[in-house]
Amino acid sequence: MTDSSIEPAGPKPPRFHHSLGRRLRGWLVAGILVVVPVALTAYIVWQLVGYFDTLVERWVPASLNPETYLPFKLPGYGVVVVVIGLTLIGAVTASLIGRWAVRLSDRIIARTPIVSGLYGAIKQIVETVLAQKSDTFRQVVLVEYPRPEAWTIAFVCGQTHTEVIRNVGEELIPLYVPTTPNPTSGFLLFVPRRQVKPLKMTVEEALKLIVSLGIVLPPDRGVDATKD
């Protein structure tokens, strides 16, 4: 009797076929890792440039439009016009008349129902984020969420309001806990400072970590990382 478990003798496939397959798959993955980020970044930038070009084209006279004099479309002029316009508005606002006009418009909007609340919230957020001396979204921390012994990335978003501290009886810091992989949505938590662990990674590195689902790891800046 013959043992059916013994494979029949015969030529086996060359090993270099398996090696070639692994190399092809590795090259394919490497190509995806190189092309996809560049392609997506270029696509998003191109869409933004096209949006500003279309927006500016509606308001800029034809005599100031480069396409009137050039035989081809000039992408990016809308971005240049927007940057120049914002710079001029900032220069005018810095003057005495400009500050008076801003205060007057703020008072008018503040007396407008519904619009006043929306305008005030947006203005406060923009001023807080763009403030040079603000600590908003400048520090990355670890916090236990949504349960003990489960840690997540969070961002310190300012100082705690006095009323919150008075009602709780303990110093709390406001944290923004982003969701993965979309960090634009998340939760605002007030957490005791003693329960927060500061990290050395930058905000950009933390965002990459969140968007990549933990695949793109930031460099280790711990004390042991500098030792051989």
Burial label for 53, CB within 10 Å (0-12, 13-18, 19+), is buried
pLDDT value, residue 12: 55
Residue 21 has pLDDT above 80, yes or no: no
Q: Closest Cα to residue 190, out of 147, 157, 142, 146?
A: 157
Structure-token pair, residue 88: 């001029």
153-173 burial by CB neighbour count: b if 16+ within 10 A, else e?
A: bbbbbbebeeeeeeeeeeebb
Cβ neighbours of residue 92 closer than 8 Å, sequence gap 6 or more: 98
Q: From residue 184, how far is each of 96, 179, 187 by CA, in Å?
A: 37, 8, 10
Query: What CA–CA distance (Å, rounded) separates 150 from 202?
Result: 21
Confidence of residue 141 (pLDDT cuts 50, 70, 90): very high
Note the pLDDT tens digit of each residue in 168-224. Answer: 777 888 899 988 877 778 888 888 888 899 998 888 888 888 888 888 888 877 655
